[in-house]
Every structure is written in structure tokens, then in C-alpha cells.
Structure 1
Amino acid sequence: MKLWGGRFTKEADKAMERFNSSISFDKRLYKYDINGSIAHAAMLAKCGIISREDAKSIIEGLKSILDDIESGKLKISEDAEDIHTFIEQQLTCRIGTAGQRLHTARSRNDQVALDIRMYLKDAISQIQQLLISLMETITDVAFIHIDTIMPGYTHLQRAQPVTLGHYLMAYFQMFKRDYERLGDCYKRVDIMPLGSGALATSTYPIDRHFVAEKLGFSSVSENSMDAVSDRDFEIEFLNCAALIGMHLSRFCEELVIWSSAEFNFIELDDAFCTGSSIMPQKKNPDVAELIRGKTGRLYGDLIRLFTVMKGLPLAYNKDMQEDKEAIFDAADTLTDSISIFSAMLSTATFHKDVMLKAAYGGFTNATDAADYLVKKGMPFRQAHEIIGRLVVYCIENGKDLSTISIEEYKQFSDLFDEDIKGAIDLKTCIQNRKVYGGPSRESVTVMIDNAKKFLEEHKK
């Protein structure tokens, strides 16, 4: 039975019914649809729109449907047009005519807007807690490696010495911003649309604020046409998801590169790698690659909904049915990706000796050599020029700044003295960078302490 069948004199085309149906994916909204309906029924009774006896029957019937679905006793039939139709039909079958009163003063338009907002509130909270767990892992690993020296890069070329702890805490900042962005997005999701009707509210004396309070919403939508046609909050969520995916992808790129024989900075645990069907020696970082690849899905979900919404007039249009799969896919993809990435990172082994050796290559202490001359009174641009020529000399002679003699240094400037070797020692280079946000142990300790405070404040 169609909820809208009275207007039609001809059966719907079977292919059209399949094309029109959303039950295959919106069935996961059943809990939100039922809880929203319970609050709606309570409001209708409070306002004297339906009797308290009918409301009691409706609420008990809805709770029994929820219990039966959760226990597996009731299977959601994909013959229904959508989850709203399925639940309403089940309710009417169970309690009779009273069930037909439930839809008074509401439309599927505001009903689905409510369901998806309730779903997203839960999804955002869950993803935020997964980010907290990931940030805890990053902080723990960074603390262990607060003194592990490695090269920092620009243009994927060795640039300056840093520590692995400093490197990892850069990703902490990315995921912290992601957490905060989701929290800001939550504010726009946390607006109750029910009572907007199809687009023009209702002639019944409904109490929308009562429903909002029952369902835990912080506010009520201000304009009924906007409420049923708004999908900005979903696009904002998808944008947050795309950014999280991008950050995971960047981190995975590091791990993939670092686990190559050419870098050999890291050994990923066997539990998070796979082999080759033809090459028996292979250990492939497939999980990191797959998480990196899934970022494309998240980008696709965002562009999908942007494209759906770009030309829609007010108010509700059936195009908007296309939003749910994008939202569900993004939430599922993030949930899986963050969880497995966190486990992969926590079990990885970092090769400290290889990282240290790499930091000694590539003249990562060249800037410190230039700063040495500046501190002796030379203008920085002149010091930059001298160290550049000194690097060329080292390359031509198969040496580095740590192995050339003081006599060779003095060929380039009389300001060089015996203390140059100590000034360009990698530990000195790092520990002298005590500027807030820098790689020194002192600075990274502050980062980690601040991170722990943030995590403690936001853990649930």
C-alpha cells in the first residue's frame, strides 16, 4: 500500500517502483525514524491533536517494532517504498486505526530531514571519538620517539633534522583540526526540522520545541521551506570527511614511502600487510594504500551531493533522495579507515638507526652552519652563499659538513673555528630549536603535554 495512493488510478510501473524505492539504503535509519515518531506522537497528544489513548498505543507499538527489528524477529521488507512507509504500515497492522493518526501534522519531507540529522549527530560523535583514539596513539608514539632523529623534508628532499616525535605531532594537529571542524559542523546538524511539514508547516497547534527537547536538539529550524530543502549540513559533514580522508591519505603516503627498501624507516606489522600472488618475497603496505585510495570515495561523496543540490528550486525535490548513500558511505568509510589506521600505526616499528643515518645525509645541518656564521656577525645572505659553495665543495670531494677539516672550512671563511663541529651536530641542531612549535625536546614536550590536556578534555 502506498502512502500516496489515493490520487492515482493506475498501478505504478514495476521498474519505476524499484527505481523510486530507497528502502535498500534508508532502512538503516529505522531507529531514528521510530524515535522521531515516538516524540511526534507524544507531542500530538500533549497538544490535544490526538487522544492520549491513541498516543499510548502508537508509542507502545513503535517500541515493539524497534525491539523486534533489533532482536531480528522483524526483518525490514524491501518491498516497501522507504523506511517511513515500512514502519507506518507495521504500526497500523499492529494497533489498527490509531496507527493511521501518527502522520498527522507532518510530511515525509520533514520526517526524513529529522531522521538524517539524528543519524548524523550520532555519526559525528562516533567519528570524533575515533579521532580521539587516533590522536592518543599518535601522542603515545611521539612520546616514545621524542629523541629519535630523522630528516625533515621539503619537496621530498632532505631539508633539516627533526625528530620523529615532532614529525608525528604535525599529524596530531591535522586530526585535532578535523575533530574541531566536526564539532562545528555538529552545531548546524543539531537543528530540529520536524513540524515544517511538506514545506509550509501545519494548521494544527503543534509544539516543535517540545519535540526538539524530547529528541535532544539544541534548536528548532527557523524557516519551514529551508528546513525541508536544506542539505548544507550534509555537504559540510562530507567536506569534513574529505579533509579527514586527505589527512589519512597523506599519513599513509608517508608510511608507504617509509616502508620501501629505499627508505626503510619503518616496518609495518604483518597483520596490516599482504603478499604477492606471484612474488613470494613481497610484503606490501596494502592497508595504507587502501586507506589512501578510499580518500577518492570521500571526495566522490562530497562532489556527488554538491552536484545533486546545485540546481534545485525550493522546496523538497526527489533528487535529495540521493543524499543518503553518500552520507552513509562517508561515515562507514571514515569509521573503518580511522580505526584500522590507528591500529596499524600503534603496531609499526620505526628503524631509528636508519632515520639517524638519513638525517646525516643531504646536508640537513647546512642552515645551522649558515646560522653559525650569522652569529659571528656575518649577514645571512652572505652566510647562505658561503655555505652553498661549501656544500658544492663537499659534493665534489665526497665529504659532508661533519667530516671536512677546520682548515677546509677556513678556505671559505676565517670566521669558522673549532666550535663549528659542535654547532652542526644534529642533536645540537635540534635541541637549539626551542622556539614554540619547534623540534627540540623541550618544545615537543610542550606539544605532547598540550595534546594530552586536549584529549583528556574531549574524551567521553
Structure 2
Amino acid sequence: MKLWGGRFAKSTASLVDSFNASIEFDQKLYKHDIMGSIAHAKMLGKCNIITPKESQIIIEGLLSILADIEKGLVTFQIEYEDIHMNIEKLLIDRIGEVGKKLHTARSRNDQVAVDIRLYLREEIGTICGLLKELLTTLKNLGEYHIDTVMPGYTHLQRAQPVTFGYYMMAYFQMFKRDFERLQDCQDRVNILPLGAGALAGTTYHTDREYLAQELGFHGICENSLDAVSDRDFVIEFISDASIMMMHLSRFCEELILWSSAEFHFIEMDDAYSTGSSIMPQKKNPDVAELIRGKAGRIYGNLMNILTIMKALPLAYNKDMQEDKPPLFDTVENLKDCLLIFNEMLKTMTVRKDQMKKATKEGFMNATDVADYLVKKGLPFRSSHEIVGKMVLYCIQQGKTIDDLSLEEFQTFSPVFAEDILDVIKIENCIASKVSQGSTSHGSIEDMLKRAQDFLFDR
């Protein structure tokens, strides 16, 4: 008989048992469910809702169940629907009638809510740890390649010279924001719903502040109706995960392009590449491609949970059982992607010579020539027009700006002097950037220092 079956005259159909059950996926929450139940049992004893002795018997029973689960000695039963009822049934079987007192002053509604919050709080901590490792790798690459020259792009067209270190620090900023978003999300996750009951509170004089303290929550949900019906924190986490996967996907797209023969800026380590079943020469960036593909999977999880929640009246509805598969899937795939991406990044080979060679084409110093004329007193638009004509001339003559003699420069404007020949050198184009956040050596050093401070504080 079901633990809730007193009101029913017949058993549920076997089809309903299978359809209704969530134990197949929510058994992942066994540790969190037991943690919440132990805290609840302590509170019941403290408040004299049950006796201290009964509280202790329940706690010891729960700890023994936890130990047996972790030894692989427990088989969960689909007939008990979910992890909560399975553990309660195990407890009653193990300690007898006193086990039936555990569920006093709580509902499965607040029980599942606290389990998910405990789970997600723990997983956010793990993900932030993986993010910190990635941020450290990016900082190290930025430091090592602070003077490694490469093309910067807009519209995927060569635009201005930058350094590879500068590029890495751009991605550092993206993942730093992801880290901060997760920490902000953690603040809203870490609110206790336990003690809300089914939706209206309870008639017992409970101590929810004590529960919060026992479970490490920094506050309690203020409204019981909201406490059991809220899944905003799940939606917020998957949203944050989607943004992070977008950043990983953008990065992977660049790595895929850069590893192609057309760019040849980097080469993936053999351990993070695969081959072709038919073409012996192939070395494919499959890891990067799969991470890029998994971004779509996480986006799908976000739309899944948003759609589940979009029209639910308060409070709990069975639809909400479906919150866990997209959450669990997001957590596991995000962790896998962060871990393998970081290892792939650390082991790739950066081809400095090829990157530098690419800066010799595409008139990447044209903007610096225009800025030179402005500093000599010409309006920027006039300078822009002059340099545009100069580029057209170079295209027609099969030359680069670097190939032009001083005499050729002066045919476009008498303002050009001999110092223009130094200005157009790629290294000088990079060094000349003096604005905050620029690609110059000194600016990147400032970024690296701030990055180190950020990592040290975490």
C-alpha cells in the first residue's frame, strides 16, 4: 500500500505507477534528501514535536540508510514513486512505527524543494571550481602570449593587429561574468523552503531558522505558497548555464577555424582530436565541435523548464516533477564541457609564426595610418578617405602598405614624413594603443594583474 493510500479504495494501475514515478532520475538526490530529513528530525526533537529519543532513532536510521545506499546495498522501488517515499519506506521498515513520525510538519512539496536547492548549491560550487580552473588557464595563456602577434577580426575579416594574450583575456572577461552570475544565482538558491508544508505552513511550532542554520542556508523562504511553487532558481541556473555554453561555443568556433589549414594558427593535441574513418590524413577538432553542439542541448533544457512552468497555478503541480531531468542534464553536461575544454585549451599548440605572418596581409595597419594623419592635424574623415585611396592603390599595384616608399606615401598627402615608416610596423601598431583596455603590452599587464586579484579573492 502507498504511504498516501489511506483515502483510496483500490491500487493505482501498474501503468500509472510507471508513468507517475520519478525514482529513475531523482534517486540522484538521495544524499540531499537524507540531509534534509536529518535536519528536520533534529528540529522536531528540539521543538518537542517528537521526543528527543525518537529524533535520535530516526537520525540513526537515516544515517544507516545513507551508508547502505553508498555501499550499493539498496535497490529503490518504482512502486514508491520517488526518492522521498523510497527513503521514508526504508526508514519505516528499518526502525518501525517511529519512522512514521518523520513526515510530521512537512510535505513532499517542501521536501523536494529543499532537496533540489541542496543539490544545486553543491553543484554550483563544483562548477565555479571548474570555471576558476579555466580562468586560471586563460590568465596563464594571456601572460605567456602577451606579445604573440595575431590578426584581430571584425566580420571575420582581418581588421587590426592584436596579441593572442589579449584575445585570451577577452575570453577571461566572458567567463569571469559567468562566474559572477553563478555566485549571484547561488544567493537565491541558498534560501530554505523546508517547513513550508504543502503550501500554507503548519500547525506545529517549528523552528525554520534552526533548520536553515543546520543545512547552511542563509535565510528562509518568506511565503510558504511561494516556497513550494518556486522554480525560478532552476530557471536562473539553466539560463546562466546557457550563456556560459554560448561563450564556450563561440570559443570553440574560433578554435575550429584557427585549427583549419586555411588559418593554421593552432593545432589541437592528438589526445583531444579524432581521425576520419576513410581519410587517413584527417585530424578533426571533434571535442570543440561537440561542445559547440552541446550548447544547443542546454538551450533546449532552458526552453523545457520555461515551458513546464509557464502556465502553472500555485502551488505544486505534478508537472514540476519534470524540472529535474533538464536540471540534471544541464549540470552534468556543463561540468563535462568545462573540464574537457580546459584540458584541450592547455594542451593545444599555438603557431606564433603563422599568426604573425597573417598580420602582413589585409592592410591591418591602415587605421594607424589614418590616426597618424589626424595627429598631424587632418580631420578624421579626410584621413579616412586618403587611406582608403591608398589601400585601393595598393590593391591595384599588388602591394601592402608596408611596401610603400615615403615618396608614394607623399603622393597621397604631403603631411606624411619619414616617421610613418615606423608607425606602420605591426609591433608598433600594437604598442601605440594607449587607451584603457587596449591590446598594448602595458594594458594587458594591467588586465593580468586584475585577473590575478580576482582569482586570489576566490
TM-score interval, normalised by the smaller of the two chains: over 0.9
State the SS of the aligned residue for 1:390.
Answer: helix
Aligned match of 1:310? 310
RMSD of aligned Cα (Å) = 0.8
Aligned match of 2:259? 259
Aligned match of 1:157? 157
AA aligned opposite 1:137: T
What are the within-5 Å matches in structure 2 for residues 333-412 of structure 1?
A: 333-412=333-412
Give 5+ residue unaligned stretches, structure 2.
none
Distance 2:153 2:143 in 1: 21
Q: Determine whether 1:214 maps to 2:224.
A: no
Give the superposition deviation at 1:197: 0.6
| CA displacement 1:385-433 (0-9 Å, x = unmatched) | 0000100000111001000111111111011122111011111110111
Give the superposition deviation at 1:77: 3.7
Distance 1:51 1:291 in 2: 53
State the SS of the aligned residue for 1:94.
Answer: helix
| CA displacement 1:24-72 (0-9 Å, x = unmatched) | 0000000000010000000001111111111111000000111111122
Q: Determine whether 1:115 maps to 2:115.
A: yes
Distance 2:78 2:438 in 1: 57
What are the within-5 Å matches in structure 2 for residues 159-178 of structure 1?
A: 159-178=159-178
What are the within-5 Å matches in structure 2 for residues 56-205 of structure 1?
A: 56-205=56-205
AA aligned opposite 2:133: S
Give the superposition deviation at 1:162: 0.3
AA aligned opposite 2:65: I
What are the within-5 Å matches in structure 2 for residues 296-335 of structure 1?
A: 296-335=296-335
Q: TM-score, normalised by structure 2?
A: 0.99
Distance 2:124 2:370 in 1: 49
Q: Is the 8 A contact 1:234 1:327 kept in 2?
A: yes
Q: Is the 8 A contact 1:394 1:400 kept in 2?
A: yes
AA aligned opposite 1:318: K
| CA displacement 1:371-397 (0-9 Å, x = unmatched) | 111111111100000000100000111
Distance 1:3 1:171 in 2: 53
State the SS of the aligned residue for 1:158.
Answer: strand
Q: Is the 8 A contact 1:390 1:412 kept in 2?
A: yes
Q: Determine whether 1:43 maps to 2:43.
A: yes
Give the superposition deviation at 1:160: 0.4
AA aligned opposite 2:415: L
Give the superposition deviation at 1:78: 4.0
Q: Is the 8 A contact 2:17 2:78 kept in 1?
A: no
AA aligned opposite 1:342: N
AA aligned opposite 2:406: I
Distance 1:393 1:76 in 2: 77
Q: Is the 8 A contact 2:18 2:78 kept in 1?
A: no
Count of paired positions: 458
Q: Is the 8 A contact 2:150 2:358 kept in 1?
A: yes
State the SS of the aligned residue for 1:191.
Answer: coil
State the SS of the aligned residue for 2:401.
Answer: coil
Distance 2:448 2:19 in 1: 53
| CA displacement 1:233-288 (0-9 Å, x = unmatched) | 11000100001100000000000000000000000000001011111111000000
Q: Is the 8 A contact 1:107 1:197 kept in 2?
A: yes
Distance 1:231 1:92 in 2: 30
Q: Determine whether 1:32 maps to 2:32.
A: yes
Distance 1:265 1:126 in 2: 33
Distance 2:261 2:182 in 1: 38
Q: Is the 8 A contact 2:272 2:285 kept in 1?
A: yes
Q: Is the 8 A contact 2:238 2:298 kept in 1?
A: yes
Distance 2:79 2:442 in 1: 64
Q: Is the 8 A contact 1:69 1:76 kept in 2?
A: no
Distance 1:448 1:195 in 2: 47
| CA displacement 1:52-106 (0-9 Å, x = unmatched) | 1111110000001111111223233444310001100111111000100000010
Aligned match of 1:17? 17
AA aligned opposite 1:350: V
Q: Is the 8 A contact 2:17 2:79 kept in 1?
A: no
Distance 1:401 1:2 in 2: 82
Distance 1:175 1:191 in 2: 26
Q: Determine whether 1:415 maps to 2:415.
A: yes
AA aligned opposite 1:433: K
State the SS of the aligned residue for 2:314.
Answer: coil
Deviates more, 1:417-426 or 1:219-228: 417-426
AA aligned opposite 1:125: G
| CA displacement 1:132-167 (0-9 Å, x = unmatched) | 000000111111110000010000000000000001
AA aligned opposite 1:421: L
Give the superposition deviation at 1:3: 2.1
| CA displacement 1:110-138 (0-9 Å, x = unmatched) | 00000000001001111011000000001
Q: Is the 8 A contact 1:128 1:182 kept in 2?
A: yes
Q: Is the 8 A contact 1:152 1:159 kept in 2?
A: yes
Q: Determine whether 1:236 maps to 2:251.
A: no
AA aligned opposite 1:333: N
Distance 1:387 1:315 in 2: 66
The list of structure 1 runs, each at least 4 consecutive aligned residues, that deviate by more than 4 angstroms after superposition, is none
Give 5+ residue unaligned stretches, structure 1.
none
Aligned match of 1:453? 453
Distance 1:228 1:323 in 2: 13
Give the superposition deviation at 1:8: 1.1
